[in-house]
Chains A and B, each alone.
Chain A
């Protein structure tokens, strides 16, 4: 009894504001509607997309599929600092695609405004699939004509439309990949219901307290996907990648955007109101989701950090070194103790859910 009382007292007493902050981080909602893609939730598109995702025939070498970099066994990442295929190495880290169903912008710089437009990008990128739109259409005619007829009424003469349709089927498949709830979600539900809320260790709860409190992580990693779906400049030393500054201009001019001829949407407010001249865009990259983050190393847009400990160390010191643009003003060195840094990392581990793939 005494022991029970002691244990109960060891639990942090969450304030009302903290409880509200915690409630804002869970549960994972249903995938958001996708007006630009009328087959986004069509089971036939899901099945077709799964095949397309794994098909290396949509590459110049015949060896590269979406799964080459977005490996289902690694939560759809590749474990490499920067994406690499037989055709070359890119300049950015392969992000997970588990959270595309909730994203607003795609790629680290947000140069696509739909998952289907994103999916088409690597296929025609010389250092990824290295394929052509004509090649995509030819392979669809050869291998997937029946599926295309069922889903889209036939294979269009315009190869750009066929590429968009390929992306739409892949998006439908990707929408089924969503991250599963982690121990954090179960704990938070119990906390809200007044239950014992004992599934998280003391360190994990301390990490959460820091995350939503003094460490300020929640300023950008907010909502149930732990991202604000926006872009920020962290002032990473020696970063010369313009990121969102270029991505915003690219997406506005992209014929595969929401306003383009292959989109099924009637209104495109995100694109309509996007400000490509926002002062903090240079050097800004998309805020990644932290769902399953413990399994998606290495980190940052260029994969410079191999562990979460290194990421936390960066925020802890915020080294002053040359970088493009200017660092997000609210970022200040956290100056956390070693114990608290470990607690933050421990908390991030509670966002892991389900087996990969």
Chain B
């Protein structure tokens, strides 16, 4: 019985369908999460430091994911290079070995687009549902 329940849960268990994504939300490649990614400030200032803000939801339930690890990087595929900086993700509020991010918001400081053109932003999410990633394009 417990095995059957486990299987049912893994398959979605016949629960309510996943809520519709909010405007601008992107599904991660493996379908585990939905992310909303925005720069701060916007628009991105050329050759100046900015912050990438990522909001993470569980794709199945639509619930905000507050205890994931989120990593953001960026490259210029047409130029063959990445950024000249090492961005640093915020830790969130940590207690008892678990770091939580209120409202599912993860901030990565130290991004810099030092050249105009097309940048691919790589977002990695490692949360309760497992690791997943998504790439998006920001043009400057």
Residues of chain A having any CB pair with chain B under 8 Å: 218-220, 222-223, 228-231, 269-270, 272-275, 278-281, 328-330
Contact = CB atoms under 8 A, between A and B. Distances in A.
Contacts of B79: 328-330
A269 B50 CA distance: 10
B82 to A, nearest CB: 7
Contacts of B110: 269, 272-273
Interface of B: 46-47, 49, 78-88, 109-110, 112, 114-117
B34 to A, nearest CB: 28
A230 B115 contact: yes
A230 B117 contact: no
A275 B85 contact: yes
A222 B116 contact: yes
B43 to A, nearest CB: 12
A278 B84 contact: yes
B78 A329 contact: yes
Contact of B112 (A219, A220, A223, A273): A273
A104 to B, nearest CB: 8
B49 A219 contact: no
Nearest to B88: A273
A275 B83 contact: yes
B139 to A, nearest CB: 12
B46 A223 contact: yes
Contacts of A275: 83-86
- Listed from nearest, the 8 A-B pairs whose CB atoms lie closest are A273-B110, A329-B80, A273-B85, A230-B114, A275-B86, A228-B47, A329-B79, A278-B84
Given A269-B49, A269-B109, A272-B110, A231 B84 contact: yes
A303 B110 CA distance: 34
Given A220-B115, A230-B114, A273-B49, 18 more contacts: A218-B116, A219-B116, A223-B46, A229-B47, A229-B114, A230-B84, A273-B87, A273-B88, A273-B109, A274-B84, A275-B84, A275-B85, A278-B82, A278-B83, A278-B84, A329-B79, A330-B79, A330-B117
B94 to A, nearest CB: 20
A220 B85 CA distance: 17
A228 B49 contact: no
Given A219-B116, A220-B115, A273-B112, A279 B49 contact: no
A278 B117 CA distance: 19
Contacts of A330: 78-79, 117
Contacts of A272: 88, 110
A211 to B, nearest CB: 13
Contacts of A220: 115
A116 to B, nearest CB: 21
Given A228-B46, A269-B110, A270-B49, A219 B115 contact: yes
Specify which of B80, B81, B117 lies most central, judged by the most chain A CB atoms within 10 Å of its CB.
Answer: B81
A329 B86 CA distance: 21
Contact of A230 (B47, B86, B87): B47
Nearest to A227: B47
Nearest to A21: B116
A274 B85 contact: yes
Contacts of B78: 329-330
A269 B51 CA distance: 12
Contacts of A230: 47, 84, 114-115
Nearest to A272: B110
A220 B79 CA distance: 13
Contacts of B83: 275, 278
Contacts of B112: 273
